[in-house]
Amino acid sequence: MVQWYRNGAYILTKNGEYSVSKSYNALLGRHTRMIEAALVWNSIMVPIHRFIVWLANQERLLTKDRLTKMHVHVDDETYGLCSNAKLETHRHIFANCAWFKELRDAVVNWSGISYRSMSTQQTLKWVRRRKWKKFKKELVIAIWGAMIYHTWMARNGKQFQEKYVQP
């Protein structure tokens, strides 16, 4: 930050004027832009679904494998919604889980749009590459986002029901 400050002023632009946005971007550094972000942050999807899908896409939901990597003690690392008793990862919950597959099959039968077993990142890229109109892409992602959200809520309900003691 020392190199930005000269003669009692912050200088980040070529013409010598200070820019808050350039300062902010300089502090952040270079990041790749996610092209699929427009699919997630569309006006059709429910806001809380958008947020959960965004976290799932970045693998930031507090799954048991992520908590373990953060050195948080987890009693049981297995996933509770399906009977496979696998390690709880984003990939397992939102692609390989029998519970999620059953939900996905029901949605496919209802909507006629088939979803494959892919990670959240792969699903967003798959939808973006389809030669569909923008509205159809947003609608497909909104439906898929609802599946992600309700799977995560079901997981949380199963995870915390035994530990919550009602007054």
Residue 166 domain-assigned?
no
List the pLDDT tens digit at each of the 167 positions of the chain.
556 666 666 656 677 666 777 777 777 777 777 788 889 999 999 999 999 999 999 999 999 899 999 999 888 877 778 877 678 889 989 988 888 999 999 999 998 888 778 889 999 999 999 999 999 999 999 999 999 999 999 998 888 775 544 44
Q: Give the DSSP letter of residue 87.
A: B
Residue 85 domain-assigned?
yes
Cβ(13)–Cβ(109) under 8 Å?
no
22 and 44 co-located in one domain: no
12 and 88 co-located in one domain: no
Question: Between vectors from CA 97 to CA 43 and to CA 71, what angle results, nearest 5°?
Answer: 90
Question: Between vectors from CA 118 to CA 78 and to CA 86, what angle results, nearest 5°?
Answer: 10
Rounded to two decimals, what is the model's pTM? 0.77
pLDDT at residue number 32: 72
Cβ(137)–Cβ(127) under 8 Å?
yes
42 and 80 co-located in one domain: yes
- Domain range for residue 117? 37-160
Cα–Cα dist 152/53, whole Å: 10
26 and 46 co-located in one domain: no
pLDDT at residue number 165: 47
Q: Give the chain's domain count.
A: 2
121 and 56 co-located in one domain: yes
pLDDT at residue number 110: 92
Residue 165 domain-assigned?
no
